[in-house]
Structure 1
Amino acid sequence: MDEADVVWMQEGHCRYYPPAAFFPSDGVGVTQARQICGECPVREQCLEYALENRIEHGVWGGCSERERRRILKRRRQETLVAS
C-alpha cells in the first residue's frame, strides 16, 4: 500500500477517538461510530478504502460490516446487469 493512498486518513474525525470506538460490540456502539463519521470530510474515501480492501470488521465511512457487505453485493449485481 502506497502512503499516498491513505493520506486522507490524517483528515478523518476518527483521529480524535480511540480505535475501539469504531470496532463496537453492539448496536449502540455502531450508532455512536456512525455519528462520528456523519460529518467527516473523508467519509467517502474511508468507505471506498474499506470496500476496496474488503475490510470485514468495524465501522468505516459510517457503514457497519453488514452495510458494506450489502453495498458490495449490490455493486456486483449492477456489474452483472450491465454486462
Structure 2
Amino acid sequence: MDEVQLEWMNEGHCRWYPPAAFFPSDGVGVDAARQICAECPVRAECLEYALDNRIDHGVWGGCSERERRRILKRRRQEAAAAV
C-alpha cells in the first residue's frame, strides 16, 4: 500500500493519543477509544482500512474486533444473497 492511500491517517484523532489507547484489554478501554473515534473526520476510512486488511486487534474506526467481525460477516451474507 502506498503513502497516498494512507494519507487519511494523518488526519486521525488517534494521532494525539498513545497507540495503547486503541488496543485496550477491557471494555472500559474500548469505550474510551470509541469516544476518541466518535468525532474523528477519517473514521470511515479507518474502519474500511481495518476491514480490508482484516486487522484483528484494537479499535479501528470506532469498532472493536468483535464488531468488525460482525460487519464482515454481514457483508459476506449480503453479497451471497445478491448473487
The alignment's TM-score, normalised by the length of structure 1, stands at 0.99
The aligned amino acid for 1:23 is: F
* 1:29-52 superposed Cα distances (whole Å, 9 cap, x missing partner): 000000000000000000000000
Gaps of 5+ in 1: none
Aligned length: 83
Q: CA deviation at 1:19?
A: 0.1
User: Is 1:36 the counterpart of 2:36 in the alignment?
Assistant: yes
Percent of counterpart pairs with the same letter? 80
Task: Please list, as runs of the form range in 1=range in 2, the aligned pairs for 1:41-60 lying within 5 A after superposition.
Answer: 41-60=41-60
Q: Distance in 2 between matches of 1:13 and 1:67?
A: 20
The aligned amino acid for 1:9 is: M
The alignment's TM-score, normalised by the length of structure 2, stands at 0.99
